Structure 1
Amino acid sequence: MIDTTNTQELDNLTADLEIVRRYLDQVKPPDALSKSESSKLEAQLRELMQTKNARLVAHYYSDSSLQDLADDTGGFVGDSLEMARFGRESDADILVVAGVRFMGESAKILSPNKKVLMPTLEATCSLDIACPIETFAPFCDEHPDRTVVVYANTSAAVKARSDWIVTSSIALDVVEYLSGEGQKILWAPDKHLGAYIKKTTDADILLWDAACVVHEEFKARGIKDMLGIYPDAAVLAHPESTGAVLELADVIGSTTQIINEAKRLPNRDIIVATDQGIFHKLQQQNPDKSFIIAPTAGNSATCKSCAHCPWMAMNSFQSMYSSLLQETNEVLVESTLAEQAMKPLQRMLDFAAKNQLRVKGRA
């Protein structure tokens, strides 16, 4: 964990977490459209995408209308890294990324010669915000004996400072491999995912202190109460959830793993502890099953995100149309920084290929 005897470290982390809270207070969801307005805008988007040879790559947590548009127009719906990999392999001239800022950066790093746009550049991530390079780089410098492993939910600058980049489903394999080689780990930014990896692998891991505003809010007590109502339900949880929630889970996995396990499990009722945006794909692929969002409030508790990322919710038809029409909100990553960030990213891709692992995770 972070050294609690280091006052400067604690002050820096407190400041970073306060920034997350301020960001959340400023998030403004898009204005609601009528059904006719939405249909008209969707038709205009389809025409514009064809004219400009653009592809929409959307995250599982984005609005269902954007996921459907991506599916229907030759785009892609998936996790953050798979979105970026699709973009690299696509013949599109323009990639429109419906997600959060670090996803757009990852797409640009893997597709430096494509124009990468986002509906809004204001869509960020609590993990990214709480791990600024100005704080993270000195922390790494203070621990030169540790291999720096960072989650994909980080800025290009933090990725460039790392030795390895991982997604949630490959993190265990990478850390287990590094630990087996005698390496000590510095993990960032998600403390809950890091703690889960540490417990599972028994690796020597120093944890950064940050959390996802969505997954940290799921309540173990609420899940226990829900299991009393649905005693035959399975519990699927993303590893960014707290340890208390993970202890109740039948399956712990990335977004893609949750989708795959939901199809495999015989249970008709499934309690899901991850962003409710994933329910669109879950219900599409399992129309005969009932998916129940894990509680985020209750028993005097309140929720800030209430099971949906407020920054993901900023992506909309309106903002996407404006961005694509004017080719604004372009994601730019300085070339030297992109080259540095590509090294640990390629290291993960090579590791996955060598070990025949699927590189899928949250974002």
Structure 2
Amino acid sequence: MTNLDQETVGTQRRPTGMTGMAGGGFYDANSAPQWEQIAAVLPWLEDTLSSLPLKKGSGPVTFADFGCSEGRNSISVMRHLIGKTMQQTDRPFLTIHSDLPTNDYSKLFLGLRPDGQSTFSSQRVSSAAIGGSMYDQLLPPDSVHVATTFNSIGYLSERPLDKLPGYVLPNGPSKRRANGHVTEAESKIFAKQAEDDMAAFLTARANELVSGGKLMVQVFGCTDKLRTCDGLFDLLNDALQAHVELGNISSQVYERYYQPVYFRSLDELTSPLTNSAYNLAGLYTLDRTESYEVPVPFVETYKQDKDLDRYATNYVNFFRAFTQAVLRGNLPDAPSKVDLLDQIYKTAETLLKASPEDYPFRNISVAMLLTRK
């Protein structure tokens, strides 16, 4: 198979400031909501594993996960998939765990080889990590049998605008809070960036997947009535505005800072497949799609115990794990930078405890399962 064209390869992207999730075990410790999202759709993939084309070839059966972060959820996914597939073939297996080159891989490596032995409890399974952008081809042609990405495709490949002066997220504030604004023109630019990114990802994976291989794409998202970003980013925005008012952050810093993340609808997730500009229609079969909601563990706990302090800590730590890298990169370099970062998230806790009803968190996902033609 000849490699498909990828416009993004060899081009210069505008840096997003995203260096990976919070390291040192912090992301893993605060990623239970992400696992709930994954667990809801993992059976889709497990049900199709018996149809994988494993009879031809003697090389490894390769499973690749894009956006592995510190690895806890990524390794759990691989454990599920390998457990369902090893009975079908005598071939060796290879798990690939990929994220940005700046990602903290230390926990991943420890998780893959606890006590010096493979976590998959079989000498037939080898593992490796690859640092690179998921929007580029990272693996050889016709080499991957199953590719997955969970809660990662929402992170944009670049910043299409130098600043977003009215809010900290391209999707804008919730209707409930209305504590900021994003113009229609700005929204269209980010929607186009997200669509281009999705097309680049699908093109890259099409190059890597064998014919008959599977691709699972799941990400935080929105429906007509609910958005995962509501509450979370309203709270972060309010915390930042509080520090602007205190004089700790300039209005210029606030206007330039935004999280390079886009929350898609299900239609936006699948639209590149039918957009003739991307030439993807002949590459995949779309097997299944769904938008869905899963419970949030720390929200469910709070409903039972009413422990507001613990709820605020867990809530803020959850979104700090995936927002602090970009926020830190946008704050002015100063000896007090680390302290200011801590103060911002402490302010978020204080605001949440004062008015928890203003920042409800609903965990919405969109997902699709595809087969490479």
TM (normalized to structure 1)?
A: 0.27
In proportion to residue count, which structure has more helix? 1
